[in-house]
Structure 1
Amino acid sequence: MTSQTAQRFSLVADIGGTNTRVALAQGAVLREASIKRFRNADYPGLETILRHYLEAEGTPDCAGVCVAAAGPVAHGVATMTNLDWTIDGATLTRATGAGLVAILNDLQAQGHALGHIPAQNLRPVIAGGEADPRAAKLVIGVGTGFNAAPVHETPWGRVVAASECGHVNMPVRSALDLKLAHFVETAHGFPGVEDVLSGRGLERLFAFVSVEAGAPAERGAAQIMDGLEAENGAGLSTETARLFVRLLGAEAGNLALTHLPFGGVFLCGGVARAMAPYLGAMGFEAAFRDKGRFAGFMQNFPVSVIEDDYAALTGCAVYLDQGAKG
């Protein structure tokens, strides 16, 4: 590899609460063979991961680096929500030597990936109306945590606004939901969306459902999904999944009315992908459209699940290729 060739590469990373994915990109295109996954618990911080990755790749000369972090980014510094890491530009420069450095919230990266994800990696959930590619879009991440980001096309390029909407109040539609809110607020004194719509949220929902059934129990998220497949439509895991899907539909509908994403709503994240086969049968659409006199209006918003595990990496590559703007 010549120095001239190496200068065309960028380093991109997607830092979740559990794993970090790293890859090289040429322009807006990932080099799929370069994608590697690292377990965060095995490393003291991101800098060590990036150094390890670059050494394994033959120390390519990176022109730019962009990382997507699962947590708020303020003044160029990312604070991970579910991991004790803080990431800043100096960290990325030390690790890579890149001249162009950018840090995005993970949902912002997903937003920049829209339009660059193959159609076969988008699973339709609600057909909705004909999506306008120039209209606002919305990405909703459901994984280790919960968050969402609106995507806007402007004459100056795409703008993806950051948020931390996973920490607003969970949706309450019924007396049972209110009871659930009191049940989950014991985690840290507030019943947030993420407390019910995330991997750990799924576990809290199972605990709640089991208590309501008079048989208190605990299960991990993977066990719940395994139980869902084994129960054949009846059991605590199935009841938990139905509750999860209803709450997800309600919150996605709330966010759709907030941002008016006529260009489409896109669900992403490991839990969203795991739940995708069940959304139709378990009432996601009914909960999404359960907005009183605005129920008919909700048909304007098509909903899909992003089944591309590397979409955030693509979004980072696109962002760098566009000059790290927006």
Structure 2
Amino acid sequence: MAHPVDTLSLVADIGGTNTRVALADGRTILPETIRRYSNAEFPGLETVIRQYVKDENGVDPKAACVAVAGPVRDGKATMTNLDWTIDKPTLARATQAENVAILNDLQAQGHAIGYIDDANVPIVLDGAKGNEHAAKLVIGVGTGFNCAPVFETEAGRLVTPSEAGHANLPIRTDAELRLCNFVSNAHGFPAVEDVLSGRGLERVYMWLGQEDGTPVEKSAAEIMTACADGSDPRAIAAAQQFTRILGTVAGNLSLIHLPFGGVYLSGGVARAFKPYLDQFGFDTAFRDKGRFAGFMSNFTVHVIEDDYAALTGCAAHLVSHFG
């Protein structure tokens, strides 16, 4: 079906493995236009976008915005887990759009808050309700780890980027110190992302095997399946360790950013862990802050279950900046 010229926006969510592209009418994603492309089949984003434009009957969008899993600086993005470099001139050339924008993927998630169906943003840890101007915090747990604070200002919503996944992993116990030493063997530095990510869960499982003297590898998907059916006590132990560290890190980030408007966990791994957060002690670890333990009840924690939230956030960003 042909699309009207200079009416819709083109939005894309670029992950380490796949890129999802869609058209948006204002802040509304058009579900029938969502397409997924395997990054391994393309040399860069420009060829992906050109393929999408062709697949959508030569659509000519009025604006375009992409969310990337990596840092963005001066309109240029470098992917953390993909050998692509993305800039505004490339995006404008590929889409022929008059206005273009590039966001970090967590920034896009932040712009989506408030435009996602409440049913897709369930509460997993209840806390005090903040006012509409209160800061929020998106924490992404998936292929990597990152966070983005969300501020409501008189000039509009501001979502600031970070690379929080590459900060030091916190250490509370002797066991966590041994885990830090284990994961630091990969890069010489124990980063948060080395544990709180899909591959991080695999490292926790491997570490527990080394602790027992019987190291065995399992994929993150296999670990979660074994955790669900109770067939592997080590998988359950790995998930418990992961959950406690996630609670600690999320609590630390909440104290730094004071998101009285809510904490929002996003990403595939966060969604996979949703059924286990309460069972494995996320709340205890989140609030384990000594004399500030009571203060931690100010923060409500949600999980974003909308798989297309980053696309919605790109569309919302374009509306707020370009109309």
Superposition deviation, residue 324 in structure 1? 5.3
Cross-structure match for 1:70: 69
Cross-structure match for 1:224: 223
Q: Is the 8 A contact 1:20 1:39 kept in 2?
A: yes
> Matches of 2:2 and 2:207 in 1, distance apart?
59
Cross-structure match for 1:321: 319
SS in 1 for 2:213: coil
> Matches of 1:224 and 1:94 in 2, distance apart?
43
Structure 2 residue 121 is matched with structure 1 residue 119: no
Superposition deviation, residue 230 in structure 1? 2.1
Cross-structure match for 1:47: 46
Q: Is the 8 A contact 2:2 2:57 kept in 1?
A: no
> Matches of 1:206 and 1:281 in 2, distance apart?
18
Q: Is the 8 A contact 2:205 2:217 kept in 1?
A: yes
Structure 2 residue 151 is matched with structure 1 residue 155: no
Q: Is the 8 A contact 1:266 1:305 kept in 2?
A: yes
TM-score by length of 2: 0.98
Q: Is the 8 A contact 2:150 2:157 kept in 1?
A: yes
Structure 2 residue 8 is matched with structure 1 residue 29: no
Tell me which amino acid in the other structure corresponds to 1:255: L
Q: Is the 8 A contact 1:152 1:160 kept in 2?
A: yes
> Matches of 1:271 and 1:324 in 2, distance apart?
33
> Matches of 2:170 and 2:46 in 1, distance apart?
38
TM-align CA RMSD? 1.3
Tell me which amino acid in the other structure corresponds to 2:178: K
SS in 2 for 1:207: helix
Structure 2 residue 237 is matched with structure 1 residue 239: yes
Q: Is the 8 A contact 1:18 1:144 kept in 2?
A: no
SS in 2 for 1:82: coil
Please list every run of 5 or more consecutive structure 1 residues that lacks an aligned counterpart in the other structure: none
Q: Is the 8 A contact 1:18 1:40 kept in 2?
A: yes
Question: 4+ residue runs of structure 1 moved beyond 3 angstroms?
Answer: none
Tell me which amino acid in the other structure corresponds to 1:312: A
SS in 1 for 2:13: strand
Q: Is the 8 A contact 2:68 2:102 kept in 1?
A: yes
Q: Please list the CA deviations of residues 251-294 of structure 1 after superposition, one character each: whole Å capped at 9, or x if unmatched.
A: 00000000000000000001000111111101000000011100
> Matches of 2:2 and 2:225 in 1, distance apart?
49
The farther-off stretch of 284-293 and 123-132 is 123-132
Q: Is the 8 A contact 2:142 2:269 kept in 1?
A: yes
Q: Is the 8 A contact 2:145 2:193 kept in 1?
A: yes
| Count of aligned residue pairs for this structure pair | 323
Q: Is the 8 A contact 1:102 1:324 kept in 2?
A: no
* Closer/same/farther in 2, CA of residues 324 and 74 from structure 1, 3 Å limit: farther
Q: Is the 8 A contact 1:12 1:317 kept in 2?
A: yes
> Matches of 2:302 and 2:62 in 1, distance apart?
34
SS in 2 for 1:25: strand
> Matches of 1:171 and 1:195 in 2, distance apart?
12
Q: Is the 8 A contact 1:8 1:27 kept in 2?
A: no
Tell me which amino acid in the other structure corresponds to 2:56: E
- 1:125-140 matched pairs, under 5 angstroms: 125-140=124-139
SS in 2 for 1:186: helix
Cross-structure match for 2:301: 303
TM-score by length of 1: 0.97
SS in 1 for 2:50: helix
Q: Please list the CA deviations of residues 113-167 of structure 1 after superposition, one character each: whole Å capped at 9, or x if unmatched.
A: 0000101101211111123221000000000000000000001100000100100
Q: Please list the CA deviations of residues 43-81 of structure 1 after superposition, one character each: whole Å capped at 9, or x if unmatched.
A: 111111111111011011111000000000011100000
> Matches of 1:165 and 1:135 in 2, distance apart?
21
Q: Please list the CA deviations of residues 212-234 of structure 1 after superposition, one character each: whole Å capped at 9, or x if unmatched.
A: 122111111111111111226x6
Q: Is the 8 A contact 2:195 2:242 kept in 1?
A: yes
Tell me which amino acid in the other structure corresponds to 2:47: T
1:251 is matched with which residue: 244, 249, 253? 249
> Matches of 1:186 and 1:45 in 2, distance apart?
31
> Matches of 1:66 and 1:245 in 2, distance apart?
33
Superposition deviation, residue 18 in structure 1? 1.4
Please list every run of 5 or more consecutive structure 2 residues that lacks an aligned counterpart in the other structure: none
Superposition deviation, residue 21 in structure 1? 0.8
Superposition deviation, residue 2 in structure 1? 7.5
Identity level (%): 59
> Matches of 2:221 and 2:49 in 1, distance apart?
29
The farther-off stretch of 62-71 and 89-98 is 89-98
Superposition deviation, residue 39 in structure 1? 1.5
SS in 2 for 1:304: strand
